[in-house]
Amino acid sequence: MFKRENLPAEASIFAVFIGIAVLFEVLGWVIVGKSFLGNMQRLEIIILQVSIFGIIAVGVTQVIITSGIDLSGGAVLALSAMVAASFAQSVDAFAPIFPQFLGLPIIIPVAVGLAVGAVCGLINGSITAYTGIPSFIATLGMLVTARAVAVLYTEGQPVYSLSDSFTAIGSGAWPVLVFFVVAVIFHLILKHTVYGKHTYAIGSNEKAARVAGINVRRHKIMVYTIAGSLSGLAGVVMCARATIGQSGMGTMYELDAISAVVIGGTSLFGGRGRISGTVIGVCILGVITSGFTFLRIDFYYQEIVKGMIIVGAVMLDQRRQAKQRSRA
Amino acid sequence: MNNQQDIILRTENLTKRYGGVHALEDANFTLKKGEHVAIVGDNGAGKSTFVRQITGVEQPTSGDIFFQGQRVEFNSPLEAREAGIESVFQDLALCNDLDVPSNLFLGREELLFKFGPFSILDEKKMMQKAKEVLERTAIKIPNLSNHVGDMSGGQRQCVAISRSASFASKLIIMDEPTAALGVQETTQVENIIRGLKEQGVPLILISHNLRQVFNLVDKIWVFRRGRIVGEVIASETDGNEIVSMITGMQGGVHEKASYI
């Protein structure tokens, strides 16, 4: 028989996504007399815009499944972008950051960007796992610190003249491809590996996980390090796309990433969630942003609606949790 | 005296004090291979305190624990578990958001392909093994891929007990395993316990239900005010005697008293 429970968890989120897209299509015809979805260029812009914070959201999903939070995504993106850019300047760069490191092979700035992200994540994870300080505070500290370090790194100066081979990573559909590949890899890892199973177990019942022999501290550090590395990757892709490294990059991206994760059905209480849901959540946010712009509705109204959607998603999650608790 | 080789667990003058409170005093306890024993006593008699010492949840103030002839000190429940002492706690150490096989195999997953933390899980094998384990225990759980959190209290209890029972553990400790269960679920749990007896797995059962105790175990240890006040063979005693030992009062127990 056809039952609601038999549908994959993403089905309802996907239905919401389709609903929102159709709503904008209808409103488009009514208000501005144009098709919203019928414009390929607009769809391309949507997907390109969401790809960067989507990469961060893949890491944030894993952190939230362990019932933690990572607020540092946007700031870690900026720091990684600055450092990666400083190693990606072309030989003819004017006033380069490191005159001795020009025209390096592309692998070096990419690796450096990822490493900076990984170190930030490692610090987040170690503080959370070893001091008992809530991840909310630990990563809030990183948000402020990483952004400040990003500014200090070049004393506020942007990093120009990135080599063509480096900026190629950000051109065309590359950011979308990176996001897609990262999402698929981590979707499979969460679903089919020991790492994934233990991530869910820790978020579901940390004490049970510990009693079962899982090294909870080490695992948490690994999760935060992966999240940091993905923010670093987002930074690399973003500065390659912008062909410049700026300390103000990715401001508020952490909130977009967290919103996408929550809208995508990952529980803030931990133990539940999937990358596939997050990908749909990312697309929903993209459509809303683009849709409002298309309807020429003021930016601040967009933010209000986004805020309401996030609170609504969390309320739904809370109701689901309460229902489960009453049954158990 | 018992042959040393037959003894799986022994405590010598095991003592636990919380500040000035003597929760457990000089407990000398032995458990033989394959033996099922019950620990009974009133609230605050020291039953749970005793279990917490031998499962590594707490560390004793003084005294020794010998497991399989070796003196042991467990600094965490994990260490006790690794030594082969499995416990089913009252607050069930299950992950509500995971399905039955994931809970059964948590921390010791079956693998298809080994690659550190990113080893690939052998989900088919775990599902198959979970089915076998639960079939052996005659537990009816309609869909093993449901989240444990969506199941009834009895089903969850059965999963928790099966987990302890399904791994070649050397000793299983159950603290009030049926306290929160209905009649049918209690029967299922009792059947699992009988199955363990057949398999020769030793068991320590803490229970307030004396009828259950008489039905299931070989020997009864009675605790009163932090001390062991008696060890009796279940078939050589009756409810009245046990209740007298638990309360410390002779006689005055009605034949049909509801706690017997």
Across the interface, whether the CB atoms of B81 and A211 are under 8 A apart is answered yes
Would you say residue B165 lies in a domain? no
Is B164 within a domain? Answer: no
B123 touches chain A (CB under 8 A): yes
Q: How many Å lie between the alpha carbon of A265 and the closest alpha carbon of chain B? A: 14
Among chain B residues, the shortest Cα distance to A214 is held by B107
Mean pLDDT of A222-242: 97
> Is B147 inside a domain boundary?
no
Are B106 and A214 in contact (CB < 8 Å)?
A: yes
The answer to whether B142 faces chain A, any CB pair under 8 Å, is no
CATH code of the domain covering residue B39: 3.40.50.300
Q: Report the predicted TM-score, pTM, of the whole model to 2 decimal places.
A: 0.86
Mean pLDDT over B204-220 rounds to 92
> In this structure, what are the phi and psi dihedrals at residue A53, rounded to the nearest 5 degrees?
-75, -20
Contacts of A222 in chain B (CB under 8 A): 117
Give me the mean pLDDT over the B83-92 stretch: 78
Residue B250: pLDDT above 80?
no
In chain A, the residue whose alpha carbon lies closest to the alpha carbon of B110 is A194
Taking contacts as CB-CB distances below 8 angstroms, the residues of chain A near B150 are: 324, 327
Within a domain: residue B162?
Answer: no
Maximum CA extent, chain B: 66
Asked if the C-beta of B97 comes within 8 angstroms of chain A's C-beta atoms, the answer is yes
Query: Which residues of chain B lie closer than 8 angstroms to A201, CB-CB?
Result: 95, 98, 102, 106
Residue B1 has pLDDT above 70, yes or no: no
Give B22-48 pLDDT, tens digit per residue. 899 999 999 999 999 999 999 889 998
Handedness of CA A148, A150, A155, A158 (dihedral sign): negative
In this prediction, residues A126-142 reach a mean pLDDT of 96
Structure-model confidence comparison of residues A266 and B152, the more confident one: A266
B216 is in which domain, residue-wise? 4-94+170-247
pLDDT category, A6, cuts 50, 70, 90? low
- Average of pLDDT values for A4-25? 82
Q: Which residues contact A65 (CB under 8 A, 6 or more apart)?
A: A190, A199, A200, A203, A266, A270, A271, A272, A273
Task: Name which of A193, A202, A272 to mutate to probe chain B: the one with the most chain B Cβ atoms within 10 A of its Cβ.
Answer: A193
Q: Does B95 touch chain A (CB under 8 A)?
A: yes
DSSP at B117: B
CA dist., res. A54 & res. B202, Å (int): 53
Q: Is B153 on the interface with A (CB under 8 A)?
A: yes
Number of domains in chain B: 1
Q: Give residue A296's pLDDT band: very low, low, confident or very high (50, 70, 90).
A: confident
Residues of B in contact with A207 (CB under 8 A): 93
Mean pLDDT for the stretch of residues B122-147: 85
| Lowest pLDDT segment from A65-79, A177-191, A205-219 | A205-219
Average pLDDT over residues A196-208: 95
Which range (A159-163, B46-50, B155-159, B197-201) has the least confidence?
Answer: B155-159
Q: Does A200 touch chain B (CB under 8 A)?
A: yes
Reported as a single tens digit per residue, the pLDDT across B161-184 is: 888 877 757 899 998 888 878 888
ipTM: 0.85
Q: In this model, does residue A136 exceed pLDDT 60?
A: yes
Contact call for A197 and B102, based on CB within 8 A = yes
Residue-level pLDDT at B133: 82
pLDDT above 60 (res A328) = no
A149: alpha, beta or left, given left = phi > 0 and alpha = psi -120 to 50? alpha
Domains and their CATH numbers in chain A: 12-28+39-314 (1.10.3470)
Torsion, CA A287, CA A288, CA A290, CA A291, rounded to 10: 100
In a domain, residue B19? The reply is: yes
State whether residue A201 sits within 8 Å of chain B by CB: yes
B157 touches chain A (CB under 8 A): no
Whether chain B has a CB inside 8 Å of the CB on A323: the answer is no
Residues A294-302: contacts with CB under 8 Å, at least 24 apart:
A294/A24, A294/A28, A294/A32, A294/A34, A294/A36, A294/A42, A295/A24, A295/A27, A295/A28, A295/A31, A295/A32, A296/A32
Q: What is the pLDDT confidence band of residue B189, given thresholds at 50, 70 and 90? A: confident
3-state secondary structure of A95: coil
pLDDT category, A2, cuts 50, 70, 90? very low
Mind telling me how many Å the CA of B250 is from chain A's nearest CA?
A: 42
- Model confidence pLDDT, tens digit, residues A244-273: 999 999 999 999 999 999 999 999 999 999
| A78 in Cβ contact with A52 (< 8 Å) | no
Residues of A whose CB is below 8 A from B159: none
User: Is residue B22 one of the residues assigned to a domain?
Assistant: yes
- Could you give the C-alpha distances from A118 to A73, A124, B75, in angstroms and in order? 11, 10, 33
Nearest residue on chain B to A66, alpha-carbon basis: B97
> Would you state the pLDDT for residue A5?
53
Domain membership of residue B151 (yes or no) is no
Q: For A281-301, what is the mean pLDDT?
A: 90
User: Which DSSP string do the residues of B23-46 spell out, in sequence order?
Assistant: EEEEEEEEEETT-EEEEEE-TTSS
What whole-number distance in Å separates Cα of residue B134 and Cα of residue B153?
Answer: 16
- B73 pLDDT tier (thresholds 50, 70, 90): very high
Mean pLDDT over all residues of chain A? Answer: 91
Q: State pLDDT tens for residues A45-77.
A: 889 989 999 999 999 999 999 999 999 999 999
Average pLDDT over residues B59-64: 94
Residue B127 lies in a domain: no
